[in-house]
């Protein structure tokens, strides 16, 4: 295992660093920072928003050996420290990016101001399923995932309504490095933090899509219940007509929920 390297893209207007609170946003497997473009634009007047890419996706170099989700969380902290050493930040992430958020809460809670985990869970899928997918993509490349991902990612009708957004996301998947993608699958195969949720001490919101077959609202409720069991404030939100990529499918709603959560908690 070796800690991967992740790179960032500034998603808010260029200005003096540190003049606004920092919000770091994380991707779903197979996507890139384009997942957050519209939601970040809606929050960019109030927050400095940077998005990071998974190994082998978007701007980030691919990995040459395996890593786990905790090491992705370490890599995110390293990334933040390269921009603003030691700064506390808000974090939001989708699916694998949300799993990374839970690991940030468990391992680096002192660095977080708030946590928004979206379309994710404390465990996702089965180890067997992820390992099989890793093997398939290593052999055949990421284009083999496009049809299945399109069905999982978007609620019915979204691709017709927003072909621009869905095609950008599917292009990101096609362009992702097969080995980086496969290592991410293997990290998800080993990911299970259900017993550690009670150690999260930062206010957390869990957002789910009602149409999400990968991480349905019950997963968000499980996360919230586990965090509350440790005595920390947490809240779940379920979005109608949304599947697995909430910030792309419902940017106005997601930005509003995030803004309200951060403000209500004096953050």
Strands (E), 119-181: none
Which residues are paired to 68 by β-bridges?
none
pLDDT tens digits for 189-226?
A: 999 999 999 999 999 999 999 999 999 999 999 999 99
Using CA of residue 157, residue 160, residue 161, residue 167, what is the dihedral sign?
positive
How far apart CA 167 and CA 150 sit, in angstroms, is 10
How far apart CA 61 and CA 76 sit, in angstroms, is 14
> Which DSSP letter does residue 187 get?
H
Residue with tokens 């400095």: 48
Which CATH superfamily is 8-264 part of?
A: Alpha/Beta hydrolase fold, catalytic domain (3.40.50.1820)
pLDDT tens digits for 109-128?
A: 999 999 999 999 999 999 99
3-state class of 89 per DSSP? strand
Strands 48-52 and 8-10: antiparallel
Residues whose CB falls within 8 Å of the CB of residue 81, separated by 6 or more in sequence, listed in order: none
pLDDT value for 267: 58
How far apart CA 141 and CA 164 sit, in angstroms, is 23
Domains of the chain, residue spans: 8-264
**Cβ atoms of 213 and 156 closer than 8 Å:** no
* pLDDT at residue 266 tops 70: no
**Alpha-carbon Rg for the chain in angstroms:** 17
The region of weakest confidence among 8-22, 86-100, 239-253 is 8-22
pLDDT tens digits for 28-49?
A: 999 999 999 999 999 999 999 9
pLDDT value for 92: 98
Residue with tokens 């050493």: 85
> Which DSSP letter does residue 228 get?
H
To the nearest whole percent, how much of the chain has pLDDT over 90?
94
Return left, alpha or beta for 190; rule: phi > 0 is left, psi -120 to 50 is alpha, else beta: alpha
């Amino acid at each position: 295992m070796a800690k991967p390297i992740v790179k960032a893209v500034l998603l808010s207007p260029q200005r003096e660093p540190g003049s606004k609170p920092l919000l770091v946003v994380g991707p779903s497997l197979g996507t890139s920072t384009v997942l957050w473009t519209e939601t970040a634009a809606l929050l960019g007047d109030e927050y400095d928003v940077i998005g990071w890419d998974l190994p082998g996706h978007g701007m980030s170099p691919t990995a040459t050996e395996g890593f786990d989700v905790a090491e992705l969380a370490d890599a995110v902290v390293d990334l933040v420290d390269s921009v603003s050493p030691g700064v506390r930040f808000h974090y939001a992430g989708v699916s694998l990016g949300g799993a990374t958020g839970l690991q940030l809460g468990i391992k680096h809670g002192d660095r977080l101001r708030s946590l928004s985990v979206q379309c994710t869970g404390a465990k996702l899928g089965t180890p067997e399923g992820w390992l099989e997918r890793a093997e398939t993509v290593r052999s055949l490349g990421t284009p083999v995932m496009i049809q299945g991902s399109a069905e999982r990612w978007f609620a019915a009708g979204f691709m017709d309504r927003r072909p621009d957004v869905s095609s950008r996301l599917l292009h990101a998947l096609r362009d992702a490095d097969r080995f980086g993608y496969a290592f991410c699958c293997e990290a998800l195969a080993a990911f299970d933090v259900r017993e550690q949720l009670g150690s999260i001490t930062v206010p957390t919101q869990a957002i789910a899509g009602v149409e999400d077959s990968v991480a349905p609202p019950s997963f968000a409720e499980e996360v919230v219940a586990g965090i509350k069991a440790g005595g920390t404030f947490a809240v779940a939100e379920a979005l109608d007509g949304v599947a697995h990529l909430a910030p792309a499918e419902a940017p106005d709603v997601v930005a509003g929920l995030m803004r309200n959560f951060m403000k209500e908690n004096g953050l």
